[in-house]
Amino acid sequence: MTTGNEYSNSQAWQPAYPYNRQPANFPYSHYFHLNRSYNQAERTQIANGYVNGNIGQGQGLNLETGGELGGKHGLGASADGHLAHNSVGAHANGHLGAKYGINAQGGADINSSHGAGFNGEAQVGGKYGLGANADGHLGMSQGVGFNTGAQLGGEYGLGAQAKAQLGGGQGAGFNTGVQLGGEQGLGANVDGHLGFKQGVGLNTDMHLGGEQGLGANVDGHLGFKQGVGFNTGAHLGGEQGLGAQAKGQLGGGQGVGFGIGGHVGGHDGQLNVNFGSKNKKENASE
């Protein structure tokens, strides 16, 4: 059973601003440095910045700029953009403080092949602090979609995420989830879909204590080809523990059917009954 977390973990995020960045060798570049002298033998750089530009060579127009005040533990920001015959984009990032400070970045791109997309994320207090991210896309082949998530306290803290999709050959769908304490803690998620081929579906599950702990799930579907069906179950203690499930089906080429089952330790038992399926079998097994 999974928590449904399909999003990037904020703890893996690296500082957005490239510290001590060396300007690229672009033409038409301008650099400036502000220095303060404390004595004859020592000079300390307190601020630096750069502006670079490039045009031509089949790459269109590119511009890059950035600056830093107080070194990598101070304030820094950078931005870049490009403009070409088939794409346009802009990106920016900044930081205040170093590892345990504030870091943020964002960007947007429009491409004739992939449509439009954006992304943004921020981090406060390092990998055990607060992090959030969001991204989205819009295109003929991909449809419209977005993903968003947040994390507090790192891998074993509190996390939540949500995503949605419309089009792109998948109809409409959504997914949302929350977790506390990592894989061995508490987690829950809900997802659903709506489409011509897939029909309507809803899935929900939760767990406490990982694979060997307590878990439960409820699923349902409704569609022209699939008919109407549901599935629900619960378990305690993994494969060698205690488990129970029930399911039912109407239509979808399977007639009417229901089943119940369970396991205790390594022993399984189930009862299935079907009426009017394509193979015209009625069976009950234990």
Q: Where are the domains of the chain?
A: 10-212, 224-286
Phi, psi of 197 (to 5 degrees): -80, -35
Sign of CA dihedral 70, 100, 135, 148: negative
Q: How many CB atoms lie within 10 A of CB 128?
A: 16
Dump strand ranges (E) for 38-129: 43-55, 61-69, 75-83, 87-96, 102-111, 115-124
pLDDT (tens, 9 = 90+) of the chain, 286 residues, equals 444 444 344 344 444 434 344 444 434 334 334 444 334 334 556 888 889 988 876 778 999 999 999 877 899 999 999 999 889 999 999 999 877 899 999 999 998 888 999 999 999 998 889 999 999 999 988 899 999 999 999 888 999 999 999 987 778 999 999 999 988 899 999 999 998 777 899 999 999 998 889 999 999 999 887 889 999 999 998 888 999 999 999 987 778 999 999 999 888 899 999 887 655 444 444 3
Alpha-carbon span 82 to 120, nearest angstrom:
18
